[in-house]
Amino acid sequence: MMAAKNNNSILRGEMLLNEPMRRHTSWRIGGPADRFYKPADIEDLAEFLSQISASEPLTWLGLGSNLLVRDGGIRGTVVATSGLLNSIEQIGDTLIRVEAGVSCAKVARFTTRLSLVGAEFLAGIPGTLGGALAMNAGAFGGETWELVESVETMDHAGLRQKRLPKDYQVGYRSVKGPAGEWFIAANLRLKTGNGELAAERIKALLERRNLTQPTNKPNAGSVFRNPPGDHAARLIESAGLKGYCLGRACVSDKHANFIINTGDATASEVEALISYVAAQVKERFGVCLQREVHIVGDPV
């Protein structure tokens, strides 16, 4: 149970109990979270964190993409940032400040209107900036941390820090930094350029994504990281697994590195399919695929 510290300040956010996580994940899958808190803003988030026990398990949630919540749900508290930590502003000629709840697609569109270029690839990431920072998300050859000049974090006590890229070990879909801190905002450095051409690039990238990915089906983006010198989708397709299903979870016949929910799939079906695909690729090609999707929560 969540133990509160002695603090009389009134929280302004919304607390939901036993909230079904299928309402908040792009796979439309997930058991209930014990507690689900939607902060009103960064100050309210800090106040909330200052009031709860340091032992309270926290799970941070953006748009719920790249995430599989098991059928037994999540113990502790889910902190939802999407649509709440949503400030984005220009703070210098080529510098913007973006809070963690802003969608990556919104960042891409915002920069083109300022005639800033370099963030177009973010339009292809179906998540928030906070999630993109946490995993160095990328698309169409670009990666999030290539743009980062500094980040703002918050710890379990609600204390804020400003940190620089040198404070983190950043790799392919991997970010390691100070323990017990979560991203709440970042300053991104862009380049001046032609905003109209950048907007056209975004349009072309999205058209390409719609042609090659199952954007009309519940999914969580790429399931596996690309192994060095190869593509997970190629290996999965070569293993004959395009369209393969376990229950209502299926490998997309449009893009083999996507697993789709064809209708009321369970997390256990998706997780079993992930394991099966990895095992088949290992058996046939000797390649150990590493998950890009994060799995959280308890089984039933």
- 173, 252, 269, 271: the active-site residue: 173
Provide CB contacts within 8 A for 175, sequence distance 6+. Answer: 133, 134, 135, 136, 145, 168, 169
The CB-based long-range contact list for 104-108 (8 Å cut-off, 24+ gap) reads 104/128, 104/129, 104/132, 104/137, 107/188, 108/202
Provide CB contacts within 8 A for 292, sequence distance 6+. Answer: 66, 135, 173, 221, 222, 223, 224, 225
Given CA atoms 9, 12, 18, 22 in this order, what sign does their dihedral have? negative
The residue length of the chain stands at: 300
User: What pLDDT does residue 196 have?
Assistant: 94
The DSSP-derived string for 225-270 is PPPTTS-HHHHHHHTT-TT-EETTEEE-SS-TT-EEE-SS--HHHH
Q: How buried is 79 (Cβ within 10 angstroms: 0-12 exposed, 13-18 middle, 19+ buried)?
A: buried
Provide CB contacts within 8 A for 281, sequence distance 6+. Answer: 232, 235, 236, 239, 287, 289
Q: Would residue 146 show up in a list of annotated catalytic residues for this protein?
A: no
**Fold adopted by 88-211:** 3.30.465
Q: Would residue 152 show up in a list of annotated catalytic residues for this protein?
A: no
Q: Which CATH number fits domain 14-80: 3.40.50.2000, 3.30.1330.10, 3.10.20.30, 3.30.43.10?
A: 3.30.43.10
Q: Would residue 222 show up in a list of annotated catalytic residues for this protein?
A: yes
**Residue 128 · residue 60 · CB < 8 Å:** no
Q: Tell me, yes or no, if the pTM score tops 0.95.
A: no
User: What pLDDT does residue 83 have?
Assistant: 78
User: What pLDDT does residue 153 have?
Assistant: 97
Annotated domain spans of the chain: 14-80, 88-211, 214-296
The amino acid present at 117, given as its one-letter code, is V
User: What pLDDT does residue 6 have?
Assistant: 41
Q: What Å distances lie between residue 14 and 55, 181, 213, CA to CA?
A: 21, 22, 35
Given CA atoms 56, 134, 164, 194 in this order, what sign does their dihedral have? negative
**Residue 117 · residue 194 · CB < 8 Å:** yes
- pLDDT tens digits along 145-170: 999 999 999 999 999 999 999 999 99
User: What pLDDT does residue 1 have?
Assistant: 38
Do 14-80 and 88-211 share a fold? no
The amino acid present at 100, given as its one-letter code, is A
User: What pLDDT does residue 44 have?
Assistant: 93
- 103, 222, 252, 268: the active-site residue: 222
Q: Token pair of 274, please?
A: 């992930």
**Residue 145 · residue 132 · CB < 8 Å:** no
Q: Does domain 214-296 have CATH number 3.90.78.10?
A: yes
pLDDT tens for the 300 residues of the chain, in order = 344 444 557 899 999 999 999 999 999 999 999 999 999 988 999 999 999 998 999 999 989 999 999 999 999 999 998 878 899 999 999 999 999 999 999 999 999 999 999 999 999 998 899 999 999 999 888 999 999 999 999 999 999 999 999 999 999 999 999 998 999 999 999 999 999 999 999 999 899 889 999 999 999 999 999 999 999 999 999 999 999 999 999 999 999 999 999 999 999 999 999 999 999 999 999 999 999 999 999 998
User: What pLDDT does residue 248 have?
Assistant: 98
Q: What Å distances lie between residue 235 and 255, 278, 287, CA to CA?
A: 11, 10, 9
Place of tokens 């350029």: 193
User: What pLDDT does residue 82 have?
Assistant: 81
Beta bridge partners of 89: 97
